[in-house]
Amino acid sequence: MKTINIVRSLALAFTAIGGSSASAQTAEQVAQDVLAENPVIDGHNDVPEQIAERFDGDFSQFDFRNTVPTLGTGEKPMHTDIARLRKGRVGGQFWSVWIDPELPKFEAVQRVIEQIDIVHRLVEQYPGDLQLALTAADVEAAQKEGKIASLIGMEGGHSIGNSLPVLRQTYALGARYMTLTHWKTLDWADSATDAPKSDGLSEFGVSVVEEMNRLGMIVDLSHVSEATMSDALDATKAPVIFSHSSANAITKHPRNVPDSILKRLPSNGGVVMVTFVPSYVSAENRDWDAAKKAEAARAAALYPGDKAAREGYIARWQEAHPMPSVTAKDIADHIDHIRSVAGIEYIGLGGDYDGITFTPDDLADVSTYPVLFAELANRGYSAADLAKIARGNILRVMRGVESTAAQIAKNKK
């Protein structure tokens, strides 16, 4: 009897201090609770390009509250709409205004303004759910109103046509970050996926970074070469971002961030917004993607002028070589690595939804962010850690960029 009473007393004490397994939250519950208070601010989504290409910018052709039934000219549903943003606990989104890097510079300027216009019209069309945000305070105000803060990011310095006046005017139109390059090297900045010209940034490239600091526009280093990353970190007075990149040490890919740069983030205050692109987060998938591109080139050589034959060839190849699986666990591996090298304060998320053909198996669209946060909770990330990844870190960057601009203006008086 004495032994039984001791066991009962221990059990009651354990329950009193919250040790009961019945009272413990699941990882999924932790994720939902954190995101309810700290909704995700994602660094990169290509909805504006989808609206331009699928619907020719005609808002009467689709309903952004639910885009699943409206495929437009595309073969697959979009990854994004308001219903799924809400389900995914997204409270802020940098909408990417991407244009083809091959465009002549004057046409590029026109096209990027048209893309910015799409974001403004999207917000105007759905005022009950979306709210334009130009500052960190605007993002927080949108959250209080229960709306999704809509920010604008230009994907590629070709958007400004080698012109600082154009840079200033895109800022005036609402652009709050610019990726210095896309896949193509510019006259003033080297891309990660093209031959270099300047061994990083040219003198004009440095002036672009300085002008972005003065304006209060975030310098985005996704897509740029390691030399450009380093030069930009040398030139900037404000925190930078990588709007959709992952860790090169986990998956060796030119679009990912090497440890030499990750080690510099604490002194800069910047954030790597880890992306979900399968070939960036899985070496096996990267190799599959490279093989598929090689087969596409082979099909083009075998069947010039015969689109149906080329498509049939690739379809048969994919059937025989299915895409390797990628999951939230792969994304979390990159987050783990960045935390170990730079720290928890330097991590965010940039899914690249609606800019990618394939997605991770369990992160199929913008409704699935809680899946990743549950995976991180399972790995021991605290609620405070998750809140930083979701929005705290990118809001700190935004405030840092804004305060740097204010200080530059003050020093010039």
What pLDDT, in 10s, does the model give residues 228-256? 999 999 999 999 999 999 999 999 999 99
Check residue 15 and give its pLDDT.
36
Q: Is residue 50 part of a domain?
A: yes
Sign of CA dihedral 192, 194, 200, 205: negative
Distance CA 195, CA 126 (A): 42
Contact 153, 96 (CB under 8 A): yes
Check residue 2 and give its pLDDT.
40
Check residue 66 and give its pLDDT.
95
Q: Is residue 314 part of a domain?
A: no
Which residues are catalytic, by number? 44, 46, 155, 182, 223, 244, 352
pLDDT tens track for 266-299 = 999 999 999 999 999 999 999 999 999 999 999 9
Count the Cβ atoms, other than its own, within 10 Å of residue 145. Answer: 11
What is the value of pTM for the model shown? 0.92
H or E element at residue 318: helix 307-320
Contact 94, 138 (CB under 8 A): no
Q: Is residue 12 part of a domain?
A: no
Q: Which residues of the chain have pLDDT under 50?
A: 1-23, 72-73
Distance CA 112, CA 49 (A): 10
Q: Domain range holding 60?
A: 28-282+326-411
- The residue among 244, 249, 296, 241 whose CA lies nearest residue 274 is 244
Position of tokens 């998938």? 285
Check residue 70 and give its pLDDT.
66
Domain CATH code at residue 250? 3.20.20.140
Q: Is residue 239 part of a domain?
A: yes
- Our count of domains for the chain comes to 1
Q: Is residue 104 part of a domain?
A: yes
- The residue among 250, 241, 252 whose CA lies nearest residue 217 is 241
Compute φ and ψ for 391, nearest 5 degrees. -155, -25
Q: Is residue 97 part of a domain?
A: yes
Residues forming beta bridges with residue 241, ordered by sequence position: 220, 271
| Strand pairing report for 175-179 and 271-274 | unpaired
Q: Is residue 6 part of a domain?
A: no
Contact 348, 335 (CB under 8 A): no
Q: Rounded to whole angstroms, what are the CA distances from 190 to 32, 199, 225, 290?
A: 41, 7, 6, 22
Distance CA 302, CA 308 (A): 12
Token readout for 239 is 């925190």
Q: Is residue 311 part of a domain?
A: no
H or E element at residue 168: helix 164-172
